[in-house]
Structure 1
Amino acid sequence: MHKPFRFGVNLTAPGSRSEWVAKCRRAEELGYDVVAVPDHLGLPAPFPALMLAAEVTERVRLTTFVLNTPFYNPVLLARDVAGLDAFTDGRFELGLGTGYVGAEFEAAGMPFPSAGQRVDHLEETIGTLRKLYADPDYQPRPTQPTGPPLMVAGWGDRVLRLAAEQAEIIAFVGGTVGNGNPMLADAAAVAKKIDYVRTLLSGRDAEFNLLIQQIAAPAERETLALAMAPALPVDTPLEDIPTLLVGAPTEIADTLRERRARYGFSYITVLEPNLEKFAPIIELLSGE
């Protein structure tokens, strides 16, 4: 039995208050289910951006996609998460990742931990959140009794194992990111990761998210192929990269149905430049 589709947009462009309000309202108007904010220096600060998004919308859920978890003290993060969940009436979902851009740590005056240390911190953070929210005396109380639904994003086996153990939503980043430079995975590599996670879930239910990197109409295919070539496996067509969508809206809708059937991806997130471009696909898949 397939999960119903959900659609999110990751809003990445800083701007004025009025521009932010207009974008959030437009996302809701276009039928998106989730407004997301990433966590990178130079982009909108996630918590105030999502609080404002909640104030000017009615239906959409809000999420961090995803927090650079090593930036945060787990106990202080628990307070901010609970506060945002309370002030958005339980519309918040918490997305966590390990962080991967060393230059951001340098800019913040922080040491850049090893990959293993970053996963350790992510695991510690999740454990702290679970423990604090389980305490009936903890304040401030989140609106959602055990805290917001947790999304963990990653690609490495250890992060995906943690996600399978702890997360309600598992976000497959769709490839490796070496010092900020992505290499997108082909269908076979994605299928291997999906099989790995399904084995670890052992029947536990989880929603699978996929972050779409680019969308191209048929006439834009060759331009996209040239632009993405450094990030693709050798001799791999665009259509064999699950994080790319190529075709007319009806073709892309069919592609997403096929990817849901094949991999279980029911929660699809696009980046802000594709906010309008993806809207016709949402209309085609709404309610499925």
Structure 2
Amino acid sequence: MRVLVTGAKGQLGSDLLCELSNRNIDAIGIDIDDLNITDAKATKEVIEKTNADKKLDAIIHCAAYTAVDAAQDNEALVTKINADGTKNIAEVAKALDLSMMYISTDYVFDGEGERPWEPDDKRAPLNIYGMTKYKGELYVEELLEKYFIVRISWVFGLHGNNFIKTMLRLGKERGAVSVVNDQIGSPTYTPDLSRLLADMILTDKYGRYHATNEGLCSWYEFACEIFKQAKLDVKVTPVSSDAFPVKAKRPHNSRMDKSKLTENGFELLPGWQDALSRYLSELEKN
């Protein structure tokens, strides 16, 4: 099998390339240096050339604009990347009869209530970033039959910045942090997620899925566990979201129902505390 991965230098894309390669799946990674996905003509030419050289079977689309607050001031750009860019890739996938996996987000929901979001629940994004990812989902659904939409949340990995790295830095610098305690979700470790995505792309069990590590926590509880496992003496104060005014509204409820994974024979990801432990060990090595 041959798979094209967009956003190959990103937090998820880089780990996904490694996982696919480890399974002897021919994985071709492209990033912004290789392809501007907002250019429909260039997208068509690059993917068609790659297909001519390698005979592709699937595209895993990880590339995205993910700066949630900055997105509020850059709606046109974010729409071009997350919505129109996804459409451009989906159109080529359709023309070449390739399956496509689109990595999406819990931000397509309004974040209200306490019930875990099911894959087919009504989507009502709270902010520009969520809206553009939602539009990307719609393009994939409208254009393709052979597609996976995989929604993830609270992502962390070795590459790029994330909440854990920020907490470790602030904890060491200040010895005390305040963290919101009214947003609930599940962290997602990119090597664990990559294994699942690789499992999925080898099948034809298409549709919408939710994929995170198992277990729930607030950002406050996440921070407490980070410092506990890192053996850092840091005072953590729980606060409401109102204590940190931000441009983009965040969902209070990011609980995700993942039963569709097991229903289709996919293995659930390990617990987030276990993932955190392995991640901290990897950080030490690096």
- Report if TM-score (shorter chain) is over 0.5: no
| TM-score bucket of the superposed structures, by smaller chain | 0.3 to 0.5
TM-score, length of structure 1 as denominator length? 0.34
